[in-house]
């Protein structure tokens, strides 16, 4: 099964938690139907991406990365690659690359969808149609900063950086609810 077909399948089966998420799910599925290259950064102006919020084993902290281009604290994530078989695998690969943590365990069921404008590609405005997951780090995991970040750090749930925008905060709330924390 292609990544495109796997993405369509997971989105068709995903139970959106509210009306806005259902609207995004419908829009993502329409985008996949309209664009055979919807999974790749070459699809302009919008394309699907995959991300994950990494939580520590105790579920009291989350790992955020200070994105080099955007200069904001975000969850790990990014563009899909040809070797990714699923969106969850793409999100997991990105989390490993950006955090330096091995042994991450990802929930294959998306937590949220987020459509956000990005400085990506030759057409503006451009958007990432992000499919967001949650991953758990092994006990005692120590992150290291990847090439795409200025920094990577653990944050207590009640001490998130001020530059974390509402989309990051919404992902954290939804991921912690999924994890029962």
pLDDT tens track for 76-93: 999 999 999 999 999 999
8 A C-beta contact, residue 109 and residue 79: no
pTM, full prediction = 0.95
Q: Give the mean pLDDT of the chain.
A: 94
Alpha-carbon separation of residue 19 from 16, 49, 136 (angstroms): 8, 21, 28
8 A C-beta contact, residue 26 and residue 32: no
pLDDT tens track for 130-172: 999 999 999 999 999 877 778 899 999 999 998 888 999 999 9
Q: Can you tell me the distance from the alpha carbon of 95 to that of 129, in angstroms, rounded to the nearest whole number?
A: 17
The pLDDT, as a whole number, for residue 149 is 76
Q: In sequence order, what are the beta bridge partners of 131?
A: 50, 113
pLDDT (average), residues 71-76: 92
Beta-carbon contacts of residue 12 (< 8 Å; ≥ 6 apart): 29
pLDDT tens track for 91-124: 999 999 999 999 999 999 999 999 999 887 788 8
8 A C-beta contact, residue 170 and residue 75: no
The pLDDT, as a whole number, for residue 118 is 86
8 A C-beta contact, residue 77 and residue 158: no
Which domains does the chain possess?
Answer: 3-179 (3.90.79.10)
């Amino acid at each position: 099964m292609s990544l495109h077909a796997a993405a369509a399948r997971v989105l068709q089966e995903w139970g959106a938690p509210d009306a806005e998420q259902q609207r995004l799910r419908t829009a993502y599925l329409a985008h996949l139907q309209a664009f055979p290259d919807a999974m790749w950064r070459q699809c302009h102006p919008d394309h699907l991406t995959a991300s994950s919020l990494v939580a520590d084993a105790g579920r009291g902290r989350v790992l955020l990365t200070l994105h080099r281009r955007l200069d904001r604290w975000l969850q790990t994530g990014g563009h899909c690659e040809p070797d990714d078989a699923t969106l969850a695998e793409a999100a997991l690969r990105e989390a490993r690359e950006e955090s330096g943590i091995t042994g991450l365990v990802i929930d294959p069921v998306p937590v949220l969808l987020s459509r956000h404008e990005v400085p990506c590609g030759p057409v503006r405005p451009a958007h990432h149609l992000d499919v967001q997951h949650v991953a758990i780090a092994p006990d005692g995991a120590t992150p290291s900063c990847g090439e795409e970040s200025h920094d990577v750090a653990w944050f207590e749930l009640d001490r998130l950086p001020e530059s974390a925008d509402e989309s990051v905060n919404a992902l954290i709330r939804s991921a912690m609810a999924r994890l029962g924390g």
